[in-house]
Chain A
Amino acid sequence: MTVPGPQLLVASGITKRFGGVLALDSVSLDVAAGESVGIVGPNGAGKTTLFNCLLGLEVPDAGSVTFGGRRIDRMPVWRRSRLGIGRTFQRMELFEGMTVADHLLVAEQATSGTVRIWRDFLHRGGPTPGELHHVEEVLDLLGLADLAARPVDTLDLGHARLVELGRAMMGAPRLLMLDEPSSGLDTEDTGRLVGILNETRRSTGVAVILVEHDLSLVGAAVDRLYVLNFGKVLAAGPVDEVMGDPEVRRAYLGSTG
């Protein structure tokens, strides 16, 4: 779909143990700028652990992660975010009680890292017109403009997922990492999500890593696919090719029907 650009994220030899369990066994993965990559695999295959290692929530026992040519595997989560990695959560992690627009504004300000907190004490801590403009843009893109002032607690799941996506998109990230964005959504909501995702990629050229169970979403939104099983990369390549691989069918598709 997109012409692959230079390497954006390169993870090599990621290994992670939990006690006696080898959750990740020397997993390597790379994402080019603007590319969309899917990670699939049966439950317990190590998808989430890999995700967490890339994001900094887990420290891998071995291996390295570089982003835009910089080693990031010892960086705290918030610093990786400021480098341009946005993420969503499989289990919603919204800021309870805050409005939709506030979610985006917080993300916009925090990601840029230019906010100086002491300005608050001079009563100059308000958002800049530029920041507000970005918030409005993303609200429009997601079709959330009508809900901007709603506290997120009052949203239905489909819209809540969109708020998470929007929050991850603030600050013009170079990579979006989406953890099962369709879980709990019906087909209509999932379709809308795919539409927004593809639209975003076309307009901003952001790269995407998608961990997903819903194969129709994977097929519609992903250029390349990694299949994990028992902490190892079972297969990697273009979607059609990987789906046709008999070993993959046995390990993954066979087990889920």
Chain B
Amino acid sequence: MIQFLNYAVPGVPFGCVFALMAVGLVLTYKASGVFNLAFGAQAFVSALAYVSLIQDGWPRWAAGVIAVLVIGPVVGVLLDRLLFRRIRTASPLVKLVPSLGLLVALPQAALMIAGAAPTIPPPAIVGNAQAVYVHLGSIPLSGLELSISASTVIVVLGLVVLFRFTPVGLEMRAVVESPRMTELAGVNSGRVSAFAWILSSVMAALAGVLLAPLYSQLDPQNFTVLLVWGVAGAVIGRFASLPLAFVGGLGLGVAQEVIAGYLPAGVIANGLRPSLPFVVLLVFLPFVRQRQIEDPLAGCDPPPTALEGTATGYRAASTLTATAGRVSAVGVWHGRLARTGPDRAPGLLARRPTATLAWAVAIIAGVSAVTWIPPDWLLTMTQGIAFAVIFLSLTLLTGMTGQISLCQASFAGLGGFMAGQLANNFGLPVGLGMVAGGLLAALLGVVVAVPTLHLAGLPLALATLAFALLADNVLFPNSWIGNGAGGVTVPRPSAGPVSFAAPKPFFLLSVVVLAISAGVVKLVADGTMGRYLAAIRGSELASSAVGIDVYRLRILVFALSAALAGVGGALYGTLEGSLSPDDFNYQISAVLLVVVAIVGLGSIAGAVVSGVVYATLQQAVTTLPGRFAGLVAVLFGLATLSYTRHPEGFLDYLGARTQQVVARRRSRTPAGGRGGSPPVDAAVAGLAGAATSGGSAPVGDGT
């Protein structure tokens, strides 16, 4: 028993912090419908402010008060007003992307404002963090443990008082229960939700300030990693119950220390601890009522008003793919039929005006690359192509299927590491190693897909996020995979006498790899599988009712997407010559999704442009002073603001605008009215054409 306590007590401060995070997450989720993944970033911002102020000579208590009670709420209110309030009823992807963007962007923005990370080790608010003050039996309690536990008790008491005895607390409980009903009862739920944001932001700030002394140096990573524990706590609370979320967070904190204590040190303990959130998510997510996740604002749903309600209102808010659906209406991912009739969905273009432009740009860029572009920029372009292959994996998985994955970088990393390992240890040619890396990544994709088959939308995103962390902590440190901090060298490929070591041949090789990857995505999109995937995205229920084996297809798509990511990662690896686990950690996964969502998930062009823009921006930033190292993350974080207005992505938005302009110009010129030509002939002709011509059917408009 004493031994158990010896292990458990050090877990309590962690548990308290996890519990604060879990409660804060549930609070904003229920009150505003957004699962705020930027929570960890908010914690970091306050911790940074706290330590910076102390370094500037402020007393510790004053710095703490400013960081927790001023900076925290201000950030929270700004996020609510500028961003999250506007996306309350958007699709899961649209809700997720901004908070992911902020998760990465906020810490970088704060560091840029602060100038540099503080150099002093973060002190505790009161007392000495490391000094032992009391003994509980034989267990020593340090100042840090005492202060964290005491602060948490105070917060919990405050919450109890607030919810039990104050009017605003009562209103908040009501809003958490059912925002719609509360609004009907005359409560301004916007005001209440703003209050919830303030409250949860204070908790984020407090968690950050309390936690800071645990680390010798402030690093955003430490804080965002903790977020996943908070997420696991929130899932234990079923996204709904504050007390359960609190108990869940506390329990996880204790459990991770106990696991680490009892199990022999080494791989098992080191592996089990970080994998705990993933396991918890997999075990508890199925217990969360799907409705609650999809639409937390649906405490009392109005009865479905037949199609109108199903097609636009409730479903638009609840299907994970409302956006992707719209994207598809604009774009590529339909059977050939969709493009043949003249009477199309609004904005659906038979031939996008941007497609020709994109081809022209691509050809000019390609020719320039092998003629006059200086070598370092050629390198950047090649990086862009490698990233484009990875982005294509998201186009396939998220754009076409609507499944949100936050572990694509893990797949890419595995592909890259394996290509290198096979070349170094077994002398396998790197070209084959890339293929093998892709296959192994596909295998990992199946490993991820099978336990998450029943998940969609936000739960799937969270489970894959937890898996990415698991990969970072358990897979990549192994010497035979990522080799930890040492990384893995990946030689350049050669084919017989032809070596791809020089920049130009390698660029051409990359273009070929990209073309093959794009071809695969295109074939899937245009074929039967694309049609099935569109059906599954529309309604999983109806898809299985017409005989589609939904689970098998999901596994297949996950594997295919992982393979693409793996090949892209291997390509990036041979380009750079070596890979380290940090090149493909969970944050990169988040950044990848944010970037391609902003540029456009609906087309192959979107992936290519994403790759080139991402690589170019990163290269451009290296020419700026070191202070602006995080500028790319900040830029994409800011771009999420416009993303919430144009969730179809920048490229498709551009295409639609161009189309509008063209249409307006055309309508001015007198022309024969576009009377109702019989669409069925065109449709059936299109069907027949597709059937008979088989391989030679027009490939369509993707670029």
Q: Is the CB of A120 within 8 A of B315?
A: no
Q: Does B121 contact A (CB under 8 A)?
A: no
Q: Is the CB of A96 within 8 A of B538?
A: yes
Q: Does B166 contact A (CB under 8 A)?
A: no
A99: B residues at CB distance < 8 A = 334-335, 337-338, 341, 683
Q: Is the CB of B545 within 8 A of A106?
A: no
Q: Is the CB of A124 within 8 A of B535?
A: no
Q: Is the CB of A119 within 8 A of B527?
A: yes
Q: Is the CB of B547 within 8 A of A81?
A: yes
In chain B, residues 380-438, which have Cβ atoms closer than 8 Å to a Cβ of chain A? none
**Chain B, Cβ-Cβ closest to A123:** B695
A96 to B535, CA, bound (A): 8
Residue picked from B307, B538, B546, B692, most chain A C-beta under 10 Å? B546
In chain B, residues 159-210, which have Cβ atoms closer than 8 Å to a Cβ of chain A? none
A126 to B546, CA, bound (A): 18
Number of A-B contacts (CB under 8 A): 228
Q: Is the CB of A81 within 8 A of B337?
A: no
Q: Given A89-B541, A94-B538, A95-B534, do A125 and B547 touch, yes or no (CB 8 Å)? A: no
Q: Is the CB of B548 within 8 A of A129?
A: no
Q: Is the CB of B684 within 8 A of A97?
A: no
A87 to B526, CA, bound (A): 27
**Chain A, Cβ-Cβ closest to B329:** A97
In whole Å, how far is B299's beta carbon from the nearest beta carbon of chain A?
A: 19
| A-contact 0/1 string along B684-699, CB 8 Å cutoff | 1011101111110100
Q: Does A49 contact B (CB under 8 A)?
A: no
| A-contact 0/1 string along B504-522, CB 8 Å cutoff | 0000000000000000100
Q: Specify which of A95, A122, A184 is in contact with B539 (CB 8 Å cutoff).
A: A95
In whole Å, how far is A149's beta carbon from the nearest beta carbon of chain B?
A: 2
Q: Specify which of A82, A93, A117 is in contact with B528 (CB 8 Å cutoff).
A: A117
**Chain A, Cβ-Cβ closest to B679:** A149
B684: A residues at CB distance < 8 A = 101, 132, 136, 148
In chain B, residues 516-560, which have Cβ atoms closer than 8 Å to a Cβ of chain A? 520, 523-524, 526-532, 534-535, 537-539, 541-550, 553, 556
Q: Specify which of A120, A148, A183 is in contact with B683 (CB 8 Å cutoff).
A: A148
Q: Is the CB of B697 within 8 A of A170?
A: no
B343: A residues at CB distance < 8 A = 149-150
Number of contacting residues on B, CB 8 A?
70
In whole Å, how far is B300's beta carbon from the nearest beta carbon of chain A?
A: 17
Q: Does A235 contact B (CB under 8 A)?
A: no
In whole Å, how far is B125's beta carbon from the nearest beta carbon of chain A?
A: 48
Q: Is the CB of B694 within 8 A of A101?
A: no
In whole Å, how far is B318's beta carbon from the nearest beta carbon of chain A?
A: 12
A94 to B304, CA, bound (A): 15
**Chain B, Cβ-Cβ closest to A136:** B684
Q: Given A81-B547, A117-B529, do A93 and B311 touch, yes or no (CB 8 Å)? A: no
B70: A residues at CB distance < 8 A = none
Chain B binder among A9-17, A107-115, A215-223, A243-251: A107-115
Q: Does A102 contact B (CB under 8 A)?
A: yes
A55 to B546, CA, bound (A): 11
Q: Does B108 contact A (CB under 8 A)?
A: no
A103 to B534, CA, bound (A): 10
Q: Specify which of A57, A93, A107, A126 is in contact with B690 (CB 8 Å cutoff).
A: A126
Q: Specify which of B311, B341, B547, B682 is in contact with A96 (CB 8 Å cutoff).
A: B311
Q: Which residues of B contact A (CB under 8 A)?
A: 304-308, 310-312, 315, 319, 321, 325-326, 328-329, 334-338, 340-345, 348, 520, 523-524, 526-532, 534-535, 537-539, 541-550, 553, 556, 678-680, 682-684, 686-688, 690-695, 697
Offer 11 A-B interface pairs, CB within 8 angstroms, sorted by A. Answer: A78-B549, A79-B547, A87-B545, A92-B306, A99-B337, A119-B527, A127-B687, A139-B680, A146-B680, A149-B686, A184-B305
